[in-house]
Amino acid sequence: MVACSQASAAVLPVVEVNNPVSWPGAAVDVTHSHYQQHFSATQAGLLSGFGIFTAPGFTWQTTSVKIKVGGGDNWQTDGWMAQITPRLDGSLVDLTRFNLHVNAGDDIVFDVGGGGSAFMVQHGLGPLYEKNNFSDFPFRQTDRSLAFTTWMIPDPAAPDPGTDIPAPGAGVLTLLGLALLALARRLPARRVR
């Protein structure tokens, strides 16, 4: 598994979504079906990590995951920005090499399929689509979601514009002070005898 290295970013990632295995829930097959989970970013930043879960006892399995930002509330077929093969134990997979920047409110989609099983919990984080590999028609669910975790490196806070504005009249006083210095330099010095 790829370990997350955030030293170059100079900040530690924070958990953006924490949707772990919970009951009621069940493992679902991702060998013969694909699932696409949609969710919204709550803050702006770099999507830096991803982890997905399966049922206890099957966490040694891996699966294929594709990730993209945007695309709308429907089944996605192209435009994937990252592809990873995580273990199904929720381990952090470093996504920083994909440079997935998101803004608050952006739709993020991940596609799971190609082996193993994922864990589905009974509450929705956003639309969840299921499509059997032998069908062309995906099924949309809103009351279920896959168990997963994402990490984000938040964008730096914007500076407060009020702190960068000089006090009224500061420019005039600076120019007046410079003018007085220039005048003092030009006047002849009085010599004391």
* Identity of the amino acid at 39: F
Taking the domain 11-154, which CATH number applies?
2.60.120
Nearest residue to 39 via CA among 106, 130, 116, 91: 106
E-assigned strands of the chain? Answer: 14-19, 25-29, 33-40, 45-52, 64-69, 82-84, 93-94, 101-102, 107-113, 117-121, 128-132, 139-141, 145-146, 148-154
Domain boundaries along the sequence of the chain = 11-154
Tens-digit pLDDT profile for residues 55-88: 888 888 888 999 999 988 899 999 999 999 998 8
Tens-digit pLDDT profile for residues 113-144: 888 888 888 887 889 999 988 888 899 987 88
- 110 vs 126: CA distance, rounded Å: 12
- 150 vs 37: CA distance, rounded Å: 13
- 91 vs 82: CA distance, rounded Å: 17
User: What is the pTM assigned to this prediction?
Assistant: 0.73
**189 pLDDT tier (thresholds 50, 70, 90):** low
pLDDT at 162 over 70: no
What is the per-residue pLDDT for 10? 46
